[in-house]
Each structure stands twice: as C-alpha cells, then as structure tokens.
Amino acid sequence: MKKIVVIDGQGGRMGKSIIEQLKKNCPEELDFRIYALGTNSAATQAMIKGGADFGATGENPMIVNCKDADMIIGPIGILIADSLLGEITPAMAVAVGSSSAYKILIPVNRCNHHIVGCQEAPLGEYLQQVCQEAVKQMKNR
C-alpha cells in the first residue's frame, strides 16, 4: 500500500483540493492511503474534509510521516524554512527535503520567494498536473 503525504498550511484549501482530485481521479487498482499533514489544525481539518484517510497537525507528525512516505505533495514552500507565513519550521523543511519519497511540488510565488520560469496558472490546472503525475508515479513504483 502506498503512503501519500499531502502537506498544507494556512486554510488548507490547496491540500483539500489535491486530496479531492486524487480520490476522484485515481484508478481503484492503485492501493494508497492519503495522510493529511497540516501546519495548523484548520489546514488539517480542511484536508480531512477533502477525503484524507488520516490527519495530523504540527512539526512532529510531519517529521515522522515523511520518513516512510512514498510520495509527498504540497506547495513548494514545504521545502523552505519559515515559508507559508512562518508555518514551516526548519525541522519540517528538513523532514520533507531529506525524505526519499517522490515529491510533487506546486509552484506558488508567495512568501518572499519566486520560482523562475513558473507561469501563473489557475490552481485547477496545477491540480490536474499533480493528479496525473501522482498516478503515473504510483503505477511505476
């Protein structure tokens, strides 16, 4: 069974949308569980409402669950300490970055960082790409 970790902060809207798309579009033969890891309880609750199988909040759950994740999905800020308006601690960024999981990072040009070459696109377009990439990687692993 594959372990997909979806990480989000603030209101959890992006993470919730990712989870909804994965649940809706992934073939049933792919055996996976989605772990919603929020930097705050509002983000975690939103992702659980989106259909996550498990949910937890804060630094330690992120450190623990990134260790054995098969895939990590979230905004690119999850790799940058103090991003997401300070919600990503240095330990969280290290946990994500050092994980051997396949990472699908959504380019978001906010919080004092800009991704060169990243085009501004509606969230829906990114979510379709995220879902397609996640399915492809689950089939290949």
Q: Where are the domains of the chain?
A: 2-140
Check residue 119 and give its pLDDT: 63
pLDDT tens-digit map of 9-45: 999 999 999 999 899 888 777 889 999 999 999 999 9
User: Domain 2-140 adopts which CATH fold?
Assistant: Rossmann fold (3.40.50)
70/141 Cα distance (integer angstroms): 9
Per residue in 76-98, pLDDT tens? 999 999 988 889 999 999 999 99
Query: Model's pTM, two decimal places?
Result: 0.88
Per-residue pLDDT reduced to its tens digit, 95-137: 999 999 999 988 875 555 566 666 666 666 767 777 777 877 7
CA 31/CA 101 separation, integer angstroms: 16
Q: Is 103 helix (H, G, I), strand (E, B) or coil?
A: strand
Residue closest to 26 by CA, chosen among 140, 136, 116: 136
